[in-house]
Structure 1
């Protein structure tokens, strides 16, 4: 498998920019403490805190650096050009990411010339003219090394849909690696796909349909699993829509048609329709389905990751 397996299965390891946890590592000696990262979600994860600039010995406070484009060459220098850490940061990034195969996700600090995931300022050499076309040196090295690792910028986690999508991917990525670490078999791979059926349908019905044929021929199990994993993470990166959620909920509703009485059927249909119209959050029909599952157990539906893709305490299903 391309993705490394040396991770701690008991608690998901998340990489994070040190400044987001309150460490005073910024160029001005300050931090960008995120209450959400440092307090709200910290109990769910084990953090690996990294500041590339401090790691190469720049200290804090320090002279600020920026990305500078000199033709096709990307330089990391101070505005006046008297400090150049291009070689040091590239070398550190190349070496450091080799050690991070155990991570199950990464939360970056936005706009940083080292840690920005996107829209980092790139300056034209010798000017103050810039475009938001850069990617942080360390962030790029990590994303290039682990292209399917769930990554996000802290500020974007204020968007409920982006936040829910990120953590859905984090837990799916972790679930996959647990399965691989336990010993890959054809049966386990097929069962994994079975459990992820409705989550995949909510994110991308098209990619869900494309994943099925991969499981039809498992002669080269490792190659098939690798292809499946790439398709899985690609599909889950697509944000689930209200339309797809509604269709998925209606599919699940069909499993209860022989068990629910008229009042219960109407109650569930009403919850799904009000969700579709934006009058209720997704949590409402999901909660109702989970309630009916306790009353009328259906193993296939109980095993669906869609109903519980992440801990309820993270409060992520208010996004839709």
Structure 2
């Protein structure tokens, strides 16, 4: 992948709530600095910070706010008093979201009435909780405008599997965007090549989608390429958001072994199978059998496997497969 460099112009552009970058923009004048984002992910992601509330013209400190269900719909109001910030926020959000089309992902601040991705409380006007299933006003607009863009809350990045999944999706989405944005746009070859190099990732995440997308690409002349590509990526990205079970990883690794079977000696095959079984039992992390598969692929120089991003979905230095 072409953006694995640490230089600023090569890092993948990813949005982030400004408080997570350590900026003192919260309603109480504080921040929620994420050292994982600024110290680890920032080596590969070029973060662009945004605070919807500050962007809408509010100061810090400012009144705490929450979402309120009213006869006029959900409103953004001060938790004390009756100040309504909805129009101010909506005006900024509508304009700001349109400037984010080049981003490949977004890390949001949880529990925020503007940036919370999910499980945001909506109150009744009497102060009681009406429901707990909303998104913040900015987060909702972002996900509605860019449904394919990987979005995650910073707190959920503490979960090893969610963190690995988010980073993997950012790199895949970046690959797709660069493919479609290059001079001349998407080509039939470009679409087939994309599917080919991400095929085993898709298999691991969702076998049903894997089986469906192959036939979709079997005849690229029966419909406009843009329509096929649109159907493809709108099935592909949601499939990639599904968590991979250990059994699904094992199934995918055994598929990879099928390409190596004739080239590897019996001892090498047995050693790899032993570590795949150990991974399934939870005795070793995914990185152990995966490293052995990568070494075997390099040893026999199997050209098809050399293109598979499943073997190297993101930089090894992130250490993500050490913990899943």
TM-score by length of 1: 0.95
Contact persistence 2:256–2:305 (CA under 8 A): yes
In 2, distance between residues paired with 1:110 and 1:188? 37
What residue is the counterpart of 1:190 in the other structure? 192
1:133: how far off? 2.1
Contact persistence 1:56–1:92 (CA under 8 A): yes
1:319: how far off? 3.6
Segments of structure 2 that go 5 or more residues without pairing to the other structure are: 1-7
Instruction: State yes or no: 1:288 paired with 2:288.
Output: no
1:134: how far off? 1.9
1:9: how far off? 8.2
What residue is the counterpart of 1:212 in the other structure? 214
Which of 294, 307, 313 lines up with 2:311 in the alignment? 307
Q: What count of residue pairs does the alignment treat as equivalent?
A: 313
1:222: how far off? 0.9
In 2, distance between residues paired with 1:187 and 1:23? 44
Deviates more, 1:230-239 or 1:136-145: 230-239
- What is the root-mean-square deviation of aligned Cα atoms in Å? 1.4
Deviates more, 1:158-167 or 1:210-219: 210-219
Contact persistence 2:250–2:276 (CA under 8 A): yes
Contact persistence 2:121–2:129 (CA under 8 A): no
1:130: how far off? 4.9
TM-score by length of 2: 0.93
What residue is the counterpart of 1:5 in the other structure? none
Deviates more, 1:125-134 or 1:74-83: 125-134
Q: Can you list the C-alpha shifts for 1:194-247, whole angstroms capped at 9, x where unaligned?
A: 111111110001100111121122121111111111111011011111111101
Contact persistence 1:9–1:174 (CA under 8 A): no
In 2, distance between residues paired with 1:75 and 1:211? 41
Instruction: State yes or no: 1:94 paired with 2:98.
Output: no
Q: 1:81 to 1:73 in 2, by over 3 A?
A: farther
Instruction: State yes or no: 1:276 paired with 2:280.
Output: yes
Q: Can you list the C-alpha shifts for 1:97-145, whole angstroms capped at 9, x where unaligned?
A: 0111000000000000000000112111132435322210000000000
Contact persistence 2:77–2:84 (CA under 8 A): yes
What residue is the counterpart of 1:237 in the other structure? 241
Instruction: Describe how 1:86-235 pairs up with structure 2 within 5 A.
Output: 86-182=86-182, 183-219=185-221, 220-235=224-239
